Amino acid sequence: MQDDTKKKTTIEEEKGISGWIEYRLPVSSFLKHIASYQVPKNLNYAWNFGSLAGIALILQIITGIFLAMHYTPHVDHAFNSVERIMRDVNYGWLIRYTHAVGASLFFMVVYVHIMRGLYYGSYKRPREMVWFIGIFIFFAMMATAFMGYVLPWGQMSFWGATVITNLFSAIPLVGNKIVIWLWGGFSVDNPTLNRFFALHYLLPFVIIALAVLHVIALHRFGSGNPSGVEVKSDKDTIPLYPYYVVKDCITFGLFFIVLFVFVFYAPNYLGHPDNYIEADSMVTPEHIVPEWYFLPFYAMLRSIPDKLTGVLTMFGSILVWFLLPWLDKSKIKSGAYRPLFKKFFWVFAVNFAFLAWLGGQEVKEPYITLSRLSTLYYFAYFVIVLPLLRKYEKSEGLPKTISDSVPEMK
Ligand code: HEM
C-alpha cells in the first residue's frame, strides 16, 4: 500500500529525532518563515513599542501568577496577604514591585504606541482593523488595571472601586441595578473583591488573544512606516531577522533598565501612599485619585457637573478613536509630510499630558475651567480639526517610494 503522507507533502523527512519531530510539528520552519518576514526598511524607534508592549504583557502575566500563589482574595486577609508577600515570601517584594511598576510601564509603552499610530495615520486604510483591535485591547487593559488596583484592599483600592463602579448609576432607569449587580451586594465588599480577582486573572489572557488577532490583522498588509507610502518593491523592505529583532532587543534592554531603576530606587513613586492604609468604609480619603494612567480620562469626567454627561464624555473620549478612519480622510498618511497636522498633533499630545496633570488636582478653580478647555480641545482635534485639515492642508514633499524617503539607505 502506498504511503498517503508522501502524496500530501513535498517536505522531506530528515534523519534523527529532531527531523522526526520537525516533519510532524514544523516549529523551526515556522520560525524561519517569521524571521524572513519582510518589513519596510525605514522603520524608526516608534515602531519598537508594539513588541515592547508584548514583552510588558508577558512580564505582567508571569509576575502576576507568582503573586496569585500567595495572595488571598478576601476582605479580611487581602491587605495582610500583600504585606506578607512584601515581608515574608522569598523575593516577594521584587515580584510585587515588578508587577506594580510593570503595569505603569506597560501603559507608558502603549501610550507611545497609540501616539505613534495617531501621528503616522496608522489607523488609515487598509489597517483599520489593526487599529480597532488595538482599541479593544486598550479597554481590556484599563479594566484589568482597575481591578488589579482593588486587590491590595488599601484605602485607594476601596474608594477608587466605589467611585468608579458608582459611575454606572448614572445610566437612566437601570443604573442602580447595574451597580448592585457589579458589586454582588449593596456595597464594594467581599463578593466584589472576589470577582475582581477572578477577572483580573482572566483578562490578561483575553488581551493575549486580542494581541494575536492584532498581529494577524497587521500581517495582512504588513507594517506601515514613517513615510506613509506603501511598500512597492523588494527594495523597500528588509527581513525581520536579524534587523528588527536586534533593534527590538535594544528597547527591551532599555525597558528593563527603566523598570529596575524604579523597582530598586523608587518602587512607590508611581503609586499612592494611602494604599498602604487598609481599606476602611467609614473613612473617606481626602482626595480620591486613580493611578496616573487614568488621570486624563478622570479629568474629563470631573470637568462636567452632570454625572451622566461626564461618564459619556469619558467613554466617548476613547470611543471617538473608532471613527478616526472616517474623521481623518487626508490622503497623506504620515504626519511627517503634513505641515499643519503636525502642529495640531503636538498641541494634542501636550494637551493630553496636561489633562493627566489636571486629573491629579483638586476639584476647584482654575482647574475646573482648565479641564473643560482641555477636554474641548481633545474632542475638537478629532471632530473639527482633522476633517477640516483634509480640505485646507497641502502636503509637503511626499516621496514616491519608501526608498526615496531614505536616500541614505539606497
Ligand atoms: C497589549 C497591547 C498591544 C500589543 C502587544 C501590540 C502589539 C503590536 C505589534 C507587535 C505591532 C507591530 C509593531 C509596531 O508597529 O509597533 C503593532 C502595530 C500596531 N498597533 Fe498595537 N499593540 C498593542 C496595543 C495597541 C493599541 C492600544 C492600539 C491602538 C489603540 C494599537 C494600534 C496599532 C496599530 C495601528 C499598529 C499598526 C502600525 C503600523 O504598522 O503602522 N496597538 N501592535
* Whole-number pLDDT of residue 3: 54
Query: Which of 291, 317, 374, 405 is labelled catalytic?
Result: 291
CATH architecture of 37-266+277-285: Up-down Bundle (1.20)
Which residue is catalytic, options 33, 177, 219, 331?
219
Instruction: Cell 483578562: give the residue.
Output: 203
pLDDT surpassing 50 at residue 1: no
| 47 CB near ligand 1 (under 6 Å) | yes
Q: What is the rounded distance in angstroms from the CA atom of residue 164 to the CA atom of residue 266?
A: 28
The answer, yes or no, to whether any atom of ligand 1 lies below 6 A from the CB of 117, is yes
d(CA 199, CA 144): 7
Q: Is 39 in the pocket of ligand 1 (CB under 6 A)?
A: no
64 CA to centre of ligand 1 in angstroms: 23
Look at residue 271 in the predicted model and tell me its pLDDT.
95
For 90-118, the pLDDT digits (tens) are 999 999 999 999 999 999 999 999 999 99
- The runs of H, that is alpha helices, within 128-244 are 128-150, 155-166, 175-183, 190-221
289-391 folds as Helix Hairpins (1.10.287)
Mutate to test the pocket of ligand 1, among 144, 210, 218, 230 (most ligand atoms within 8 A of CB): 218
Question: For 353-404, how does the pLDDT look when each residue is reduced to its tens digit (9 = 90+)?
Answer: 999 999 999 999 999 999 999 999 999 999 999 999 999 999 888 999 999 9
Q: Return the domain boundaries, the chain.
A: 37-266+277-285, 289-391
- The reply to whether 37-266+277-285 and 289-391 are identical in fold is no
* 171 has pLDDT over 80: yes
Is pTM beyond 0.85? Reply is: yes
d(CA 43, CA 243): 11
Q: Is the pLDDT of residue 243 over 90?
A: yes
Pick the catalytic residue: 122, 223, 303, 317? 223
Say if residue 242 is preceded by a cis peptide, omega within 30 of 0.
Answer: yes
76-92: per-residue pLDDT in tens?
Answer: 999 999 999 999 999 99
> If you take atom 16 of ligand 1, which residue's CA is the nearest one?
50
pLDDT tens per residue, range 22-77: 999 999 999 999 999 999 999 999 999 999 999 999 999 999 999 999 999 999 99
Burial 183-204 (b: 16+ CB within 10 A, else e): beeeebeeebbeebbeebbebb
Q: Is 328 a catalytic residue?
A: no
Ligand 1 pocket, 215 CB below 6 A? Answer: yes
Our answer on whether the CB atom of 49 is closer than 6 Å to any ligand 1 atom is: yes
**Ligand 1 centroid to 272 CA: how many Å?**
30
Asked if 247 is an active-site residue, the reply is yes
Identify whether 306 is a catalytic site residue.
no
